[in-house]
Structure 1
Amino acid sequence: MSAAVRPVRFGVLGCASIAGRRMLPAMARVDEVTPVAVAGRDRSRTEEFAGRFGIEAVVGYERLLARDDIDAVYVPLPTGLHAEWISRALAAGKHVLAEKPLATTAAEASALTARALGRGLLLAENLMFLHHPQHQVVRDLLDEGVIGELRSFSSAFSVPPFAPDDIRYRAGLGGGALFDLGVYPLRAAQLHLGDDLAVAGAVLGHDPRHGVDTGGAALLTTGTGRTAQLTFGMADAYRSRYELAGERGRIVLDRAFTPPDDRPAVVRVEHGDGTVTERTVAPHHQFALSVRSFARAVRDGRVRPDPAIVRQARLLDAVRERAVTTTAVPAPAPEGAC
């Protein structure tokens, strides 16, 4: 990057775990951005958090948004708070990179993207896996016709239970497995099957202790008859994969959403004759790639929101509307609870 181009100056709203574990370290790897400050509600916690990264601590989200040395904000707040604080950030003239999902409803997502477009600001959803080149390798294989005509897509993303007090078990803040994990298979289905997906049916497992869904499944179709079978959960063994089935074979991608930063990714092709071939993809830091993509879009004035944001929100709405609700195994209660 030319020395004459000023890096995008970032502020962070909240001291969320993902900001500390992933995004601020990613920003440190990217020349195109400079993290400036983090805002929190508790002074001591915010100062401790900011000190780990050598940036300024600000008490109060509003104070950070009012600063003129902040070009963009990263929003890792709970999903249920996204609409309010994204809207405030846009009103303050800041570009916004928000954790997924962008909003809890399609109506909110549509309103926010329209607001960003009207103000000439970039609003992006941080589905960082999309920036890893392993998915382009999959697209190239499809274009080369190695499995023939694509017939179906299947994907699973699940993790073991979180700590009992984890924010993802709080219904009032937009918790639940669909928002936290289901967004990944849904977005991957859009990536490979296109933008005319419709939800044919769904199941959500409801945790009566916390009032959130802890897992589920969805069946989607396209206008041409292709199907997507998706599963997700936060009370299961770890899975992070997808598979594309064609008339002459399958493409399989393990660690589809969480590829290690320090090891190559492997795209496996299972041919119809029983042979298997693999394509290796060099290690990449997908969080840094997401940050760099956002910063370059800001720098280049490419601020039109991705239409997939609203399509994704509509699919989430449709999954909830079509879902049959079952009773899930309750998440563990805190020790000492009665």
Structure 2
Amino acid sequence: MGKQVKWGVLGTADIAKKCTIPAMQKAKNCTLYGIAGRNPEKTDRFKGMFQFEKAFYSYESMLEDEEVEAVYIALPNSMHKEWVLKAAEKGKHILCEKPIAGNAADVEEMVKACRDAGVILMEAFAYLHSPASKIVKDALDSGIIGTPTLIETTFVTPSPEADDIRMRKETLGGAMYDLGCYNTSLILMLVGEEPSEVRAVAHLTEAGIDDTTVAYLEFPGGTRASILTGMCSGRRADRYYIYGTDGTMEVPIPFNADGVLKFYVHRAKKSDTISVAVPDNYMLEIEQLGRCILHDEEPCVSNEFSIKNARIIDRILACIGY
């Protein structure tokens, strides 16, 4: 076994329980050292379920433990900034759930604090570590469908329960923060630049959060993009299409999907199916940050990318009056 990174997990959210911690168990360079939660009974349950070495009943006590080298922050969106800054102060490398913060100014402050402290900060867009994302991007850049003219993205899920933190404004809930950040990050990855124009409309709930948002983006290079995101469907649906001067790419791949995945390239006289074998995206994410810590690899999701993505979200939220 090679060198391991000792990880601590801040929070006992579903994303940690169902996705990230099981992936950490599979990651080759990860040791599950500590779990921290404010509910001792739930925290102990996580410790036993995932065989953490230690349980902490406050977030502060985990950060005080010198054995912890990196932390995964799985707290509500509104708490990300506070605990990134505290983790950086204690010299911990950080993987923070998306969206990394509520606005671009906060992201810039967090990035500066981590750089000043000499620690790595990476936003947890696991799907960006997927081989499928790389292959689609490489195919697009190769000119396989000519010059991209329009990117159409959709991410819709069932509505959470009324008391869910995603349905409350004070915890930075709503479709754009919870789901639309995927759409914007995908478009930013594919296009490689920030939009010159942003327009958006939304349906706002009585609690003041958006349960449906539609946005239109124009880019300096001429590409246009659309976003449909909402917490309003009977079942989840996520997919995207890329339209170009010489054809289209149809990508019915859900965010963070694994297994043998397929996408389709359609041109005037020929259609191709491209298959790619994809491991657990969350495992790839953990292993990649581990390599950044142990071997000075550059983070797949750069701080500059996170700042740009937050700026796009800021502009959409301003349009919808969030």
* 1:301, distance to aligned residue in structure 2 (A): 2.9
The equivalent residue for 1:36 is: 33
The equivalent residue for 1:138 is: 136
Counterparts in 2 of 1:251-330, with a 5 A limit? 251-259=249-257, 261=258, 263-273=259-269, 275-302=270-297, 305-323=302-320
Instruction: Return the letter of the residue paired with 1:201.
Output: R
The equivalent residue for 1:118 is: 116
* 1:324, distance to aligned residue in structure 2 (A): 6.0
Instruction: Return the letter of the residue paired with 2:294.
Output: R
Identity of aligned pairs, percent? 30
- The whole-number CA distance in structure 1 between the counterparts of 2:56 and 2:143 is 53
Instruction: Return the letter of the residue paired with 2:36.
Output: A
- The whole-number CA distance in structure 2 between the counterparts of 1:39 and 1:282 is 34
The equivalent residue for 1:196 is: 194
* 1:135, distance to aligned residue in structure 2 (A): 1.6
SS in 1 for 2:251: strand
Q: Deviations over 1:284-323 (max 9, x none)?
A: 2111111111111111234775310100111111111122
Q: Deviations over 1:220-242 (max 9, x none)?
A: 11112211111111112421111
SS in 2 for 1:81: helix
Q: Deviations over 1:256-279 (max 9, x none)?
A: 4132x3x31101112133x42101
SS in 1 for 2:119: coil
Counterparts in 2 of 1:40-51, with a 5 A limit? 40-51=37-48
Whether the aligned pair in 2 keeps the contact of 1:241 and 1:255 (CA below 8 Å) is: yes
SS in 2 for 1:197: coil
Whether the aligned pair in 1 keeps the contact of 2:194 and 2:312 (CA below 8 Å) is: no
Query: Is there any run of 5+ residues in structure 2 with no aligned partner, and where?
Result: none
SS in 2 for 1:12: strand
The equivalent residue for 1:17 is: 14
Query: Is there any run of 5+ residues in structure 1 with no aligned partner, and where?
Result: 326-338
Counterparts in 2 of 1:225-240, with a 5 A limit? 225-236=222-233, 237-240=235-238
- The whole-number CA distance in structure 2 between the counterparts of 1:34 and 1:204 is 43
* 1:140, distance to aligned residue in structure 2 (A): 2.5
RMSD of aligned alpha carbons: 1.5
- The whole-number CA distance in structure 2 between the counterparts of 1:178 and 1:225 is 24
Alignment equivalent of 2:245, drawn from 238, 247, 253? 247
TM norm structure 2: 0.95
- The whole-number CA distance in structure 2 between the counterparts of 1:29 and 1:89 is 24
SS in 1 for 2:307: helix
The equivalent residue for 2:181 is: 183
